[in-house]
Amino acid sequence: MSSAGTTPLLRVTNLKVAYPIRSSLLQRKIGENVAVDDVTFDINPGETVGLVGESGSGKSTVARAVIGLVKSDGGRIEFEGNDITRHSPRQLKPVRREMQMVFQDPYASLNPRLTVRDLIAEAWRVHSDVVPRDRWTAEVKELMERVGLNPDYSDRYPHQFSGGQRQRIGIARALALRPKLIICDEPVSALDVSVQAQVLNLLDDLQDDLGLAYLFISHDLSVVEHLCDRVLVLHHGVVAEEGSAREVFDHPRDDYTRALLAAVPVARPWLEPSS
Amino acid sequence: MTAAAPVLAVNATMRRARRARRGVKTRIIAPLVVIGLIIVGAIAVPIAFAFDPLQADLLARLAPPGAVMSDGSTALLGTDQIGSDLFAQIMAGARVSLLVGVATLAISGLVGVALGLLAGHFGGWIDATLMRVADIQLAFPSILLAILIASVLGQGVGNIIIVLSISNWVVFARVARSQVLSLKNREYVEAARTLGAGNWHLMFRTLLPGCMAPVIVVATTQFAQVILTEASLSFLGVGVPLGTPSLGSTIFNGTQYLSTAWWISTLPGVVLVILMLAFGILGDALRDKYDPTLRSA
């Protein structure tokens, strides 16, 4: 699917992640729970790839393996052609600059004891060469403006913001390192429907302005349809179907995808031709 | 009826939580005032009285509280068996108690929290080793350990602080560790991880601030414990050296005179009780204020 000659931004080949089952007494491994098996996909620069499936299908595990929060048990993860599968946290540090994450729960993913300024600047504290310290305040305000927050609120704490505003803070934090890829792990599922649309539009605008690529994880198919170029449907940790968003939504080939699509609630069922 | 039962249960929980929160402010301020008075007294009184614990004035010995001395001054709380003023002696003793308490908490708190962070953050064999050491420490009665160490190292205020620090770090380590364990899988800690934060950053910038509230609560209650242990050690004669007034040693000195001069043992004991009560109430109030389970209700 990647155009000839260019390497994809992210290439995941045959990814497998299994959680060990340990005996209660000696903590010996007595089995494993395979969360993700044989998942393969590419993400090109500026592209949005959706990952859908029911809860427990391994969507989040894929994201966490890609960003290095869980270890993979097989397969390869390449970022811009470099194999990062077996990288230690120290080796991963330069890659983190290019790849950031927006978390599901905006209430849990922001440290309650840091101000917005410190939350966003934390990235620059870790990567000291991105923004010089005397530019932090100005850059924080710029980022806040960019994600639609009032820059005068930079000294406030997360609990003083609404859910949608918090998620904007989370997005600003992810943008702070100027990444090329942002992994969005159900970024709007904890938000009100009206706020969901605002945040999705923000993500869309940022993609247009900054040329970001997204790995977008969601169980909400309408969200994925709205945003994604390509879609992978995960079922019990394996890819049930893969294709462009149009293909998958209009002509689902797999039974599971069809079941998933049929489960989407319809706003005005009496207007639907069938049933 | 069936629907009302859970509602009632919820109401009861909320009532309990509200009752626990009621008056938290008074319960914080009142002990703070008492502790503040004792601190001021401990610093100022021995200086104002030009108190010298080794000076004997045998003519003035065993005077009851309120007695007028030969030089015309009043011994507010009486005098002891060598004629030194009991009020000044008690305040000098409180000074030693507070000094030992603060120094012990500073040392055991720093060491304990640092080791707890290490154990909680890294887990694995570091955690296993540190926590087994802590278990062994806890299985050993702390006063016995203190007597053992004091008899090896000898007497002295510095040694008491070391002894008490050794038997107190475990509490801080356990509290910090359990707090880290509950925090380390929160999304905001993972967010710091995905930024590329190293262990140092994660431990001290991300996890430590979240551990502080319970650590402060524990520190307050431990303070009372430390003061009592110091007094016990001094009472048993393995605490402060002779000539250093301590609440414990003053109580011990008075035991021989209990039938004739009750005030020598009783009054420092009363001060000790007041000091411990103040810290106990303060600790309880702080726990009510910061305990998240009560707060959420």
What pLDDT is stored for residue B20 in this prediction? 62
Inter-chain touch B209–A113, beta carbons under 8 Å: yes
Residue that has been written with the tokens 């391994």 in this structure: A58
Q: Measured between beta carbons, which residues in chain A are less than 8 angstroms from residue B197?
A: 122, 126
pLDDT at residue B10 greater than cutoff 80: no
pLDDT for res A32: 83
Taking an 8 Å cut-off on Cβ atoms, the answer to whether A111 and B190 are in contact is no
| pLDDT tens-digit series, residues A159-178 | 889 989 999 999 999 999 99
User: Is B124's Cβ below 8 Å from some Cβ in A?
Assistant: no
Q: For residue B4, is pLDDT > 70? A: no
Q: Does A67 touch chain B (CB under 8 A)?
A: yes
The reply to whether B195 touches chain A by the CB within 8 Å rule is yes
C-alpha distance from residue B49 to each of B45, B91, B98, B246 (Å) = 6, 11, 19, 17
CATH superfamily of A10-262: P-loop containing nucleotide triphosphate hydrolases (3.40.50.300)
Tell me the shortest Cα–Cα distance from B190 to chain A, in angstroms: 8
Which parts of chain A have pLDDT scores under 50?
1-4, 275
**pLDDT attached to residue A216:** 93
| pLDDT of the residue at B8 | 65
Closest Cβ opposite residue A69 in set B188, B193, B196: B193
In chain B, what are the domains? 24-53+74-296 (1.10.3720.10)
**A22 in contact with chain B, both atoms CB, cutoff 8 A:** no
Token reading at A125: 């504290």
User: How near does any CA of chain B get to the CA of A150, in Å?
Assistant: 22
Vertex B120: Cα angle to B114 and B125 (nearest 5): 100
Q: Where are the domains of chain A?
A: 10-262
Q: Give the span between the Cα atoms of B191 and A173, in whole angstroms.
A: 9
Buried b / exposed e over B74-99, threshold 16 CB at 10 Å, is: ebebbbbbebbbbbbbbbbbbbbbbe
Nearest CA in chain B to A109: B188
Query: In this predicted complex, what is the ipTM?
Result: 0.83
Structure confidence by residue, pLDDT tens digits, B114-158 = 999 999 999 889 999 999 999 998 888 877 877 887 788 877 888
Greater model confidence, A113 or B4: A113
Backbone angles phi, psi at B237, to 5 degrees: 90, 10
Residue B294 has pLDDT above 50, yes or no: no
- Asked if B206 lies within 8 A of A110 by C-beta distance, the reply is no
User: Which among A269, A185, A244 is positioned nearest to A220, based on CA atoms?
Assistant: A185
- Chosen for mutation from B189, B194, B211 (greatest number of chain A CBs closer than 10 Å) is B194
